[in-house]
Amino acid sequence: MSTGHVSTIDTPISPFTAIVAMDGAVLASGWTASTDDLLPQISPSLRPTTLTTRRDLGAVTKAVRAYHGGDLDAIAEIPVRQRSGEFMQQAWDALRTVPAGKPVSYADYALLAGRPAAVRAAATACARNAATLFVPCHRVIRTGGAIGNFRWGSDVKRWLLNHES
């Protein structure tokens, strides 16, 4: 049996909820007030069996507030824990190297992840990213500049990209 901590923070977009492991690593996060939206995104091998609600998650809460307040690099040092195959892991790591205000296309993202021909697999890595914001999949857009899909909706993605530009 494992325990995770959860907290929901008001942001200018909507409520933002994070689920973290006992050591503070983000397991899942997003612009929702419901853990039901987040728990299925966590790998079964990492998914907590018990969640304890906390008002504050320390560094995670501080980073979320700072990011939404304008410190776009506040999220960079927050530890994240996700589990999948080798390419997904590489792709999620690559997302953390995309700087704020410098979105990349899915093709460029596939190249960053080490498999230039794997554009669809790169898009799948974005779709399966449980730790949104901390693994900034919103920074990947379609070739030509269209926003593309985002689990939390195109309005949230547009707000994030505008916030970072």
Known catalytic membership, residue 126:
no
**Spatial distance between the Cα atoms of 107 and 120, rounded to a whole number of angstroms:** 9
Cβ neighbours of 144 (radius 10 Å): 6
Which domains does the chain carry?
Answer: 3-69 (3.30.160), 86-164 (1.10.10.10)
Of the candidates 28, 110, 135, 137, the residue annotated as catalytic is 137
User: Hey, which residues does 131 pair with through a beta bridge?
Assistant: 29
Provide the b/e sequence for 46-65 (b: ≥16 CB within 10 Å).
bbbeeeeeeeebeebbebbb
pLDDT, one tens digit per residue, over 34-82 is 999 999 999 999 999 999 999 999 999 999 999 999 999 999 999 999 9
Instruction: Please report the pLDDT score of residue 143 as a whole number.
Output: 86
Pair of tokens at residue 22: 């006992």
Q: Give 154's DSSP letter.
A: H
Amino acid identity for residue 90 in this structure: Q
C-alpha to C-alpha distance for 119 and 112, rounded to whole angstroms: 11
Q: What is the pLDDT of residue 1?
A: 56
Token pair, residue 165, equals: 């530009």
Task: Report the predicted TM-score, pTM, of the whole model to 2 decimal places.
Answer: 0.94
Residues of the chain with pLDDT under 70: 1
